[in-house]
Amino acid sequence: MAQTTTPPQRLYSLDALRGFDMFWIMGGEMIFHKLADATHAPFWIALGDQFEHPDWNGFHFYDLIFPLFLFIAGVATPYSVGRELEKGTPKKELLLRVIRRGLTLVLLGILYNIGPKGLRFPPVAEIRFCSVLGRIGLAYMFANIIYLYTRQRGQWIWFGSLLIGYWLLLLFNSAPGFPHGDLTMQGNFASYVDRLIVPGKLYLGIHDPEGLCSTIPAIGTGLLGILAGQLLRNSPLSGAAKAGRLAIAGVISLILALVWNTVFPINKNLWTSSFVLNVGGISLLLLALFYYVIDVLEYRKWAFFFSVIGMNSILIYLSPHFINWKYMTDGFFLWIGQIIASPWDAFVLVFPFLALKWLFLYICYKKKIFLRV
């Protein structure tokens, strides 16, 4: 006799994975940079380089941080929007929620770029309208709209169409004066379109890594997360089997990325289709690992550190605009650095810097203060 199971209402592993992702944004990468500065050892220098973005083509670990967050937002969709659908909430109401959230993130991204300038609002020409939060907002919004109005097969079709369509768009077009398919910063079609239609300034003058045109394949990153989330929430497979499916999908995605890389290079700046598959494959493997250890085997205590971060990810991302973390760290702990002295002082001070941020998030966690968009 077949057993019926109730879909889990929350993935503990998802908060932990989101926190693991945000840990590097909130300063974790400085551990390796300061080790490299202190030792000048080739190993630590090479590891520190992994926490810098490549100039153009190629992939470093640091390139994973942003798309992993977007992927995780997609995984959460079947547990949030999907649950509301099952409750009978009208699609139109959910659509308005999704649009409101997406546009709110776009607005927050613009305000984040402007920064604290008192009552002075800069001229439009000086504002960078593209942003990390804006990319997340738009990609999340369109991926969720696709989820609301298509079945799983349709979502796979959308996923493939977005990646192939973006490849063809860049393959058969270019900036004026460059050959078709040019993928340099000056000559690629995506950057050219952004220069034409995006108001204000671009991050690199002639190119913005969060430009409007490259949001097209980023929707695919969100969709991949949604497809993974549906497997975890709706599949009748055992937890171990689900983790195995995710891992296999991750390996396949990485293989496809490497094959596609031969004709369409892995490039975060352009969010190329091969980049989507590359970071998607790693994201699937990480999700499989975290899900298996935390939700299947139920080893959760170790993940609490990351969960505290993951449950307030937007807050810690925005916090440097209203909290001077370096000033606080120096105020409380500079004496430690003075005792240790150069070159290890900067390395040691990374840990109280991170501890202060985590303590702030822990207090918010205990007080049930969460910044939701």
State pLDDT tens for residues 224-282.
999 999 999 999 999 999 999 999 999 999 999 999 999 999 999 999 999 999 999 99
Angle separating helix axes 65-87 and 91-114, nearest 10 degrees:
150
| Residue 128, strand partner residues | 200
Residue with tokens 């596609």: 260
Residues 72, 79: Cα–Cα separation, whole Å: 12
The answer as to whether 372 is a domain residue is no
The answer as to whether 36 is a domain residue is yes
User: Given this model, what pLDDT does residue 213 score?
Assistant: 94
Q: What is the pLDDT along the chain (373 residues), one digit of tens a residue?
A: 333 344 555 689 999 999 999 999 999 999 999 999 999 999 999 999 999 999 899 999 999 999 999 999 999 999 999 999 999 999 999 999 999 999 999 999 998 888 776 557 788 888 999 999 999 999 999 999 999 999 999 999 999 999 999 999 999 999 999 999 999 999 999 999 999 999 999 999 999 999 999 999 999 999 999 999 999 999 999 999 999 999 999 999 999 999 999 999 999 999 999 999 999 999 999 999 999 999 999 999 999 999 999 999 989 988 888 888 888 888 888 888 788 878 888 899 999 999 999 999 999 999 998 888 7
The answer as to whether 1 is a domain residue is no
Residue with tokens 């999704």: 98
The answer as to whether 3 is a domain residue is no
User: Given this model, what pLDDT does residue 117 score?
Assistant: 61
Residues 197, 191: Cα–Cα separation, whole Å: 10
Q: Cα–Cα distances in Å, from 103 out to 107, 114, 158?
A: 6, 17, 22
User: Given this model, what pLDDT does residue 4 score?
Assistant: 39
Residues 23, 9: Cα–Cα separation, whole Å: 25
Residues 285, 178: Cα–Cα separation, whole Å: 39
Structural domain that includes position 181: 16-50+61-366
The answer as to whether 9 is a domain residue is no
pLDDT tens-digit profile of 92-135?
Answer: 999 999 999 999 999 999 988 887 765 577 888 889 999 999 99
Q: For the chain, how are helix, strand and coil distributed in percent, rounded to 5?
A: 70, 0, 30
The answer as to whether 343 is a domain residue is yes
Residues 294, 341: Cα–Cα separation, whole Å: 40
The answer as to whether 313 is a domain residue is yes
Angle separating helix axes 42-49 and 30-39, nearest 10 degrees:
150
Residues 334, 345: Cα–Cα separation, whole Å: 9
The answer as to whether 11 is a domain residue is no
Number of compact structural domains in the chain: 1
First to last CA, the chain: 44
User: Given this model, what pLDDT does residue 5 score?
Assistant: 45
C-alpha closest to that of 171 among 158, 190, 153, 154: 190
